[in-house]
Amino acid sequence: MVSYKIWILISALILAILFIAPWNAFETGVIIKSVERNSTEANNRIISGMIIHEINGNLIKNNADYSRVISDIFSSKGNETIRLNIKTDKSEFVILTDKEPQITIGNIPKTKIKTGLDLSGGARALIKPVNVTLSDSEIADLVSITSERFNVYGLKDITIKSIKDLEGNNYLLIEIAGATPRDLKELISSQGKFEGKIGNASVFIGGTDIAHVERSGQQAGIESCSAYQSGESCSFRFPITLTEEAAKRQADITSKLAISSENPEYLSQKLDLYIDGELMDSLFISKDLKGRVTTQISIQGSGQGADRNDAIKATQENMKKLQTILITGSLPYKLEVVKLDTISPTLGKAFSKNLALLAGVVFVLISLVLFIKYRKIKITSAVILTMFSEAFITLGIAALISWNLDAPSIAGIIAGMGTGVNDQIVIIDESISNEHISLKERIKRAFFIILGAFFTIIAAMLPLFWAGAGMLKGFALTTIISVLAGILITRHAFAEIIRKLHE
Amino acid sequence: MSSQHNQAHHSTLSKNWFDKYYKLMMLVPILFLILCLAYLGFFYSQNQDFILKDVSLSGGTTITLNTENLDINIDNLESTLKLKYPDMNFRKLDDIRTGKALAIVIESSASSDELKASIESSTGIKLDNYNSNIEFTGPTLSKNFYRQLIIALIIAFVLMSIVIFFLFKTFIPSIAVIFAAFADIIMPLAVIDYFGIRLSSAGIAAFLMLIGYSVDTDILLTTRAIKNKEGFLNQRIFRAFKTGILMTSTAIIAVLPAFFIVTGLPDSFRQIFLILAIGLFADIINTWLTNTGIIKWYCIKHNIE
């Protein structure tokens, strides 16, 4: 009869397989990563996480299929509306649209195991408010403003978390999967204080005094490009609408201004635009506007690059950034980027390959040592199987709690495997020695040692949850999960196997 | 029957030799520990700190260039950068299987924008998301990291000590275990310093792990010697030694290949495995010479034979 302890191990392994879901590797299609707000797709209740299998009768197996099918459909069309028949895993959608679907897509992940930035590439930033301690509600505001900025900017696949460290410092951890924009640092760290001033008088500030920002259309976009130093420079322009109140304030101030003596078409003072206290632009005020309530203002700016393409790209990014700040408003404090990592997906791939090699080498070496020592295939395989079961259960739990496996987490799993083998050796050696007392008693003694080792590991790893802004949390977490899986599941099953081998 | 006889014979032999020299044997690790402490003192006077910190603990930038598909004159790049950033640290990573240059790692206290621009102008290659990793840690944050990881290390040590006292509830044997754990931290620290290895924040986490990793053999020894009283003391100690040495060897076998093989991992993480391996070697002498000696002495004093 097989003991319930073995059944618990088997159930745990089955559950781990269910959590990891490796059969996803056989699934074809593309997964929807994000859907633009207020787009036709969003209004038709297409949501992220759905898997697209077919579009207008064309089978979609991967990213490349999707791009090809969409470009086939939309390249030949004129101005007419197109009927898209999108078949997903949830249901079928028929949408009428005149532009390409405003969704981002990706290949279906092979398993439910989430790989962190160290393995799959992306960017990670840790930001900290300068010289202020934020309350929990202020931190929540910061999180929401930052997510709003990314949203407006058009970046998807982002997680933003607030983190408190051992000494009570607050940080915001931002993780972006995949490619990252060049000016990420500015986007996340700018306070975003936008102010329009005439002389020393403040006319309007970003967020509260701006009713609308025109982001696209005929009046918003790149105006012209020209040679500049050794490269190119382009300029952009977009209109904003002030609130009635701010417009009145402006009228009030301009009514007191004289007409410029050198430049009789304009007023004597200019409208200065500041971003985070730095002068960005000075606009002449036409004499017709003296004392008039006008809500429309045109904002201008520029961008430079080595060639025209580069310059256009830089200009578009600058415009987008400025619009983002104007829409989302400013923060009441300065932010500092204290850590910024951008990680290439290519190096992560080399790592994944090496990890498989490592598992192989450790498997061979440990088997060899154990076989030399015990001269028994059964005992050796029991140890190895238990060791890999533990790693597997740990991965399953990581998948279940959607933990991003980063480099420290992997190191924790490897370290956990090491302690697992140690415990098993204690069980074997206790059980084969000292024939005067019962096997049950001997295994009980082994568990005293194992429990002692278990508690010291927990004690050693616990402080890592908070130290260093939690950047090494993964190491502590996977180690603790793996020793917990050991003490609760695999040790008992292993002891049972050893008991059976004795009989 | 014959094997049992053999074992008994063997332990009588080891008993004589062990009884004679165990106090002397205790001194070997203690002398080595004193040497390590003296070296750390000397190191502190030279460097104003107990370790060499990498940029994750001192602030600055690490750029890892994926050189597999890039045409770069590596020596030229190194000499150009060295002129501009004297504090720079330049390393090459090779693929363990093919021996091909995989990546180069450049560390400097300079800001990421500055270092990136210098590399770009020297190589003529634009760094992007695909050909490079750029990691920047600000100076205040890295100071925070360092301070907090040291606090974490102290907390972990104290918590471990509480667990040990709770487990054995006797003073001398508990202190012996805690002392071994202390030596297990100090020795690899001195070795790391001696070889000029720059410690990363992950490396400090390895020292925490070492606390948990190294005491299991001490717990094994103390339990077998003091709590379970079948057979002679020397037999019990020798049995614990046979089990413990196997435990430590397999642990070393698990972590040492990780150091050599996992080259794609951010380099700072590989040192976790190196530190664990050195610490485990240290643990062999600290457990089986010093801790064993103290335990034997304690047992003889308290008539636990």
**What are the backbone dihedrals phi and psi of residue B134, each rounded to the nearest 5 degrees, phi first?**
-125, 120
A199: which residues sit within 8 A by CB, 6+ positions away? Answer: A253, A269
- % of chain A beyond a pLDDT of 70: 97
Beta bridge partner(s), residue A175: A124, A159
Closest CB to A472 among B201, B215, B219: B201
Of the residues B103, B137, B171, the one at which a domain ends: B137
pTM of structure: 0.80
Assess whether B110 and B222 both reside in one domain.
no
- pLDDT of residue A429 exceeding 70: yes
- CA B249 to chain A, closest CA, distance in angstroms equals 9
Assess whether B168 and B221 both reside in one domain.
yes
Q: What is the DSSP string of chain B?
A: -HHHHHHHHHHHHHHHHHHHHHHHHHHHHHHHHHHHHHHHHHHHHHHSSSSEE-HHHH-EEEEEEE-TT----HHHHHHHHHHH-TT-EEEEEE-TTT--EEEEEEEESS-HHHHHHHHHHHH-----TTTEEEEEE-HHHHHHHHHHHHHHHHHHHHHHHHHHHHHH--HHHHHHHHHHHHHHHHHHHHHHHHTTPEE-HHHHHHHHHHHHHHHHHHHHHHIIIII---S-HHHHHHHHHHHHHHHHHHHHHHHHHHHHH-TTS-HHHHHHHHHHHHHHHHHHHIIIIIIHHHHHHHHHHTT--
Q: How many domains does chain B have?
A: 2
Residue B111 in contact with partner chain A when CB distance is under 8 A: no
- pLDDT on residue A77: 67
Assess whether B130 and B217 both reside in one domain.
no
Half-sphere exposure (Cβ direction) of A431: Cα atoms closer than 13 Å: 21
On chain A, the residues whose CB falls within 8 A of the CB of B258 are 358, 362, 411, 414
**DSSP three-state, residue A282:** strand
Residue of A nearest to B258 (CA): A358
Structural domain range at position B174: 2-54+140-301
Of the residues B115, B137, B159, the one at which a domain ends: B137
Assess whether B108 and B239 both reside in one domain.
no
Least confident of A342-351, B121-130, B246-255: A342-351
Question: Span B103-109, mean pLDDT?
Answer: 87
| CATH architecture of residue range(s) A28-107 | Roll (2.30)
CB contact under 8 A, A426 and B247: yes
Residue A345 in contact with partner chain B when CB distance is under 8 A: yes
- pLDDT of residue A29 exceeding 60: yes
Looking at per-residue confidence, does A349 or A65 come out higher?
A: A65
CB contact under 8 A, A350 and B258: no
Assess whether B217 and B150 both reside in one domain.
yes
Residue B284 in contact with partner chain A when CB distance is under 8 A: no
CATH fold, domain A4-21+345-502, is: Multidrug efflux transporter AcrB transmembrane fold (1.20.1640)
Looking at per-residue confidence, does A502 or B170 come out higher?
A: B170
Question: Span A158-167, mean pLDDT?
Answer: 82
- pLDDT of residue B80 exceeding 60: yes
Assess whether B166 and B203 both reside in one domain.
yes
Angle between helices A491-502 and A4-20 (to 10 degrees): 140
Highest mean pLDDT among A281-295, A299-313, A364-378, A400-414: A364-378
Of the residues B137, B152, B187, the one at which a domain ends: B137
Interface test with B, best of A390, A424, A425 (most B CBs within 10 A): A425
CB contact under 8 A, A180 and B64: no
Assess whether B212 and B116 both reside in one domain.
no
B 242-261 → A contacts, CB under 8 A: 242-243, 246-247, 249-251, 253-255, 257-258, 261
**DSSP three-state, residue A451:** helix
Assess whether B198 and B247 both reside in one domain.
yes
Assess whether B15 and B114 both reside in one domain.
no
Size of interface A-B (CB pairs under 8 A): 257
Looking at per-residue confidence, does A53 or A326 come out higher?
A: A53
Nearest CA among A452, A449, A383 for reference residue A417: A383
Assess whether B214 and B132 both reside in one domain.
no
- pLDDT of residue B239 exceeding 60: yes
The residue ranges of every structural domain in chain A are: 4-21+345-502, 28-107, 122-343
ipTM over 0.95: no
CB contact under 8 A, B264 and A342: no
- pLDDT of residue B38 exceeding 60: yes
The CATH number of the domain holding residue B125 is 3.30.70
A79-118: pLDDT as tens digits: 678 888 899 888 888 888 877 888 878 778 888 888 877 7
- pLDDT of residue B1 exceeding 70: no
Assess whether B46 and B152 both reside in one domain.
yes
- pLDDT on residue A32: 85
Contact criterion met (CB below 8 Å) for B101 and B107 = no
A 463-492 → B contacts, CB under 8 A: 463-464, 466-469, 471-472, 475-476, 479
Assess whether B76 and B46 both reside in one domain.
no
